[in-house]
Structure 1
Amino acid sequence: MRGPRPGAIALWLFVVAGLVLLMVAVGGITRLTESGLSITRWQPVTGILPPLSESAWEAQFAQYRQTGEYIHHAGPAGMTLDDYKFIFFWEWFHRLLGRLIGLAYAVPLAWFWVRGAIPAGYKPRLLGLLALGGMQGVFGWLMVRSGLGEDMTDVSHFWLSVHLLTALLTLALLVWTALDMRALARGTSGRPARLTGLAGAAALILFIQLLLGAWVAGLNAGLAASDWPLMNGRLVPEIAWSGGLWWTLTHDPFLLHFLHRWWAFVAAAAVIVLARRARTVDRRASIAINATLGVQILLGIATVMTQVSLWLAVAHQLVGALLVAAVAWGAHAAGKDVPSLRQRGTAAARPLPGPA
């Protein structure tokens, strides 16, 4: 069967979005178990297979022992080969999942393209998503490489934020495009939804919160305090400004932890307003935003108060990604409603016919 198949494409994009959610969760585990620097080379093809012999494992371990993380942290802690195999698994699985997502996107895209199943006007967008996925892989390697110096024990929190935020942007665009396709398949919309000013403002405010969260994660700033709502018994923590304004805003763990805590409520207010706006079109989108937002705030507080418990922190990152998907859903709903609102307003302003 040839011809546009927006329903099938929507289903495919939702599946890929689900894989991206899984990737975000695995990435959180990789970071929290300090596994990200366990593989010191980027081998897109040969790196698919893990070491298959004891000598191959010893060779991989020898490469890791040359990193600053091992020299200054893992080595003095007494890391064994079995310990290394554990952290290797999570980084290998994270990279393998990235390759699988690439295949899960590229192969169906080629099939839909050859079959002429892509609706008019959507090919550039789908190719753009493919390019964004490729960039995500490059950013992941640049992030790893930033932590491989002999004096480095962690990756750059700047590269970590680029890597994570690119994944979340990809997720949002996958959801948005899938919703466009679903509307096209149902015949409920003749054109794609557009990003409204309200949705754009909410997305920008949420982006700042996600950026702060990525920096907090990269600098281990979640450990700066374990009480809430105070930080170490103070409403505003002690902050050293000796490094200058820019350095403090981008590196000080106490300030970044403080900003991430309280900007969360600015972001919450913004997405709640968006949820109320989306409710006029799609009540389920509004429910999704409010539910994920509430759970995310509670998980954030619990993560702090448990001194960054592994599984709570992973859940916090995963639900954050779900919130991004829900906000994309709500923004899409708000964008679909613009013409109909105008029409309703015009109809309301039109005088009723009088008696003959």
Structure 2
Amino acid sequence: MLICKQCFHGLRSTTSKPHRSLYSARGINLKTCLLPPSKTWVASLRRAATVANPVEISAQAQKIVGTWLVGCAGMCFGAVILGGVTRLTESGLSMVDWRLIKDMKPPGSEKEWIEEFERYKQFPEYQQMSNQKEMTLSDFKFIFYMEWGHRMWGRTTGMVFLLPAFYFLRKGWVSKALKPRLAIFAGLLGFQGFLGWYMVKSGLEEKPGPNDVARVSQYRLAAHLGSAFLLYTLFLWQGLSHLLTPIQMPDVKSISKLRGLAHGVMTAVFVTALSVVLIGGFWWMARKAPLHPRARLAVNLLLGMAFGQATLGVTTLLTYVPTPVAAIHQSGSLVLLSFALWVAHELRRLPKV
């Protein structure tokens, strides 16, 4: 039985006076409203409910937001590659100042380049490198542009995230669950910039020992790289959640076991390259599980990339760590992490409807 809100208020007002009939505030007999509702009345009630409830985010808007989040993950991917090349070419300490706005413009004239070069000469890295080989202004320009490009990429990543985020919030395309996550992403981006400055600062300080080489702290470097991996993982996971149609896996023991192992594999890839071993065992267990074809494709790609990454690692060592091969190997670790994340995303437990 359905009673409209108007009639309910009318009932409350009329029952307090026994001498009056049961009429609503608009003079509608309550008995009429207690009859089974007509189709027209039900349709109008549904329209009113639609207006009263918050507007749902369209599928197209969800796809746009998901593409943006995957794009942010791609920017993090590029930052990791540029950071690796910067480290391999020993360019990370060429910019001795950290100025958010002024750093965006490199030296324009020969005089400005000479002044920047003279500032660099005052720090330990140049003094140690000059003992082996005299650095020219042209050499300095190369390492300066490497570090400058890395910093500008990082700041561009922040803009690629922040500007669309404000736009999507104004458009109402950000769900209630996503809003706090966007705040976390923004905080991590800011923290990543701070870690970059904190890492470079460690390499510009004088070392106590006479034979100590000017290098950034390996702990700060690991924190800087780890936070970049974390940002990439969060962006990619959230993007896949917007772009991929959820798959309901069979509720069987083998799937439950794989679901737990998938997160273990993803964590292992994040932490150590020894996970190529774990991935092989994971793939073997997944062979007989009733996986969806898309999930099985992700598992197979994960195994293939694991072997490719292992091959790249061996090649890097045998060829004495050339910069191009080492950079490809570092990017391969992110590709491997991407496949591990995809597998875990496909195997995630969906809420029961």
Which TM bucket (shorter chain)? 0.7 to 0.9
Name 1:175's counterpart in structure 2.
Answer: 236
* Structure 2 match to 1:200: 263
Aligned to 1:58: 114
Cα 1:278–1:298 change in 2 (3 A) is: farther
Quote how far apart the aligned CAs of 1:200 are.
3.1
Letter in 2 for 1:177: Q
2:126 is aligned to: 70
User: How far apart are residue 265 of structure 1 and its match?
Assistant: 4.1
Question: Which residue identity is paired with 2:305?
Answer: T
Given the alignment of the two structures, is residue 145 of structure 1 paired with residue 208 of structure 2, yes or no? no
Please report how far the alpha carbon of residue 319 of structure 1 lies from its aligned counterpart in structure 2 after TM superposition.
0.9
Distance in 2, matches of 1:157 and 1:332, equals: 32
Does structure 1 residue 97 correspond to structure 2 residue 153?
A: yes
Check the 8 A contact 1:271/1:289 in 2, yes or no: no
Aligned residue for 1:120?
176
Q: CA separation in 1, counterparts of 2:284 and 2:62?
A: 31
1:294 aligns with 2:301: no
Matches within 5 A, 1:178-257: 178-183=239-244, 186=245, 196-209=259-272
> What is the rounded CA distance, in whole Å, between the counterparts of 1:10 and 1:265 in structure 2?
30
TM-score (norm 2): 0.73
Q: Could you tell me which residue of structure 1 aligns to residue 17 of structure 2?
A: none
Structure 2 distance, partners of 1:301, 1:187, is 38
Q: Report if aligned partners of 1:37, 1:147 keep a CA contact under 8 Å in 2.
A: yes
Q: Aligned equivalents of 1:308 and 1:74: distance in 2?
A: 23
**2:316 aligned residue:** 303
Residue 7 of structure 1: aligned partner: 63
1:264 positional shift: 4.7
> Structure 1 residues 138 and 181 mapped into 2: Cα distance closer, same or farther (>3 Å)?
same
Stretches of structure 2 lacking an aligned partner (at least 5 in a row): 1-54, 208-212, 249-255
Q: Secondary structure at the match of 1:146?
A: helix
2:327 and 2:290 map into 1 onto residues whose CA distance is 28
Counterpart code for 2:266: A
* 28-37 vs 2-11, which moves further: 2-11
1:294 shift after superposition: 1.7
Residue number in structure 1 paired with 2:329: 316
Between the aligned residues of both structures, percent identity stands at 34
Partner of 1:157: 218
Q: Cα–Cα, structure 1 residues 275 and 294, in superposed 2: closer, same or farther, change >3 Å?
A: farther
Q: CA deviation at 1:54?
A: 1.4
Shift of 1:75: 5.1
The change in CA–CA distance for 1:115 and 1:75 in structure 2 (over 3 A counts) is farther
Could you say which residue in structure 1 is the equivalent of 2:45?
Answer: none
Quote the residue 2:102 is aligned against: 46
Q: Distance in 2 between matches of 1:288 and 1:271?
A: 12
Per-residue deviation, residues 234-266 of structure 1 (Å, max 9, x unmatched) = xxxxxxxxxxxxxxxxxxxxxxxxxxxxx3544
Residue 80 of structure 2 is matched in structure 1 by 24
**CA 1:115–1:87: 2 relative to 1, 3 Å:** same
Q: Deviations over 1:265-315 (max 9, x none)?
A: 444446646876795462332233123212111100000000001100000
After TM superposition, give the deviation of residue 81 of structure 1 in Å: 0.6
2:343 maps to 330
CA deviation vs aligned residue, 1:74-102 (integer Å, no higher than 9, x gap):
45411011000000011000000001110
Distance apart, 1:129 and its partner CA: 1.3
Q: Hey, what does 2:27 align to over in structure 1?
A: none
Q: Which segments of structure 1 move beyond 6 Å, counting only runs of 4 or more?
A: none
- Contact 2:265/2:275 (8 A) holds in 1: no
Gaps of 5+ in 1: 211-262, 344-356
How far 1:60 moved relative to its partner? 1.3
Deviation at 1:103, TM superposition (A): 0.3
Offset of 1:119 from its aligned partner?
Answer: 2.0
CA contact (8 A) 1:202 1:274 kept: no
Whether the 8 Å contact between 1:275 and 1:290 is mirrored in structure 2 is no
**2:63 & 2:276 partners in 1: Cα distance?**
37
The answer (yes or no) to whether the contact 1:3–1:115 under 8 Å persists in 2 is: no
Counting matched residue pairs gives 281
Counterpart code for 2:88: L
Contact 1:146 1:156 in 2 (8 A): yes
> Secondary structure of 2:348's partner?
helix
CA RMSD after TM alignment: 2.6
TM-score (norm 1): 0.72
Q: What is residue 163 of structure 2 aligned with on the other side?
A: 107
**C-alpha distance 129-56 of structure 1, shift in aligned 2 (>3 A):** same
In the superposition, relative to structure 1, how do residues 77 and 127 fare at CA in structure 2: closer, same or farther (>3 Å)?
same
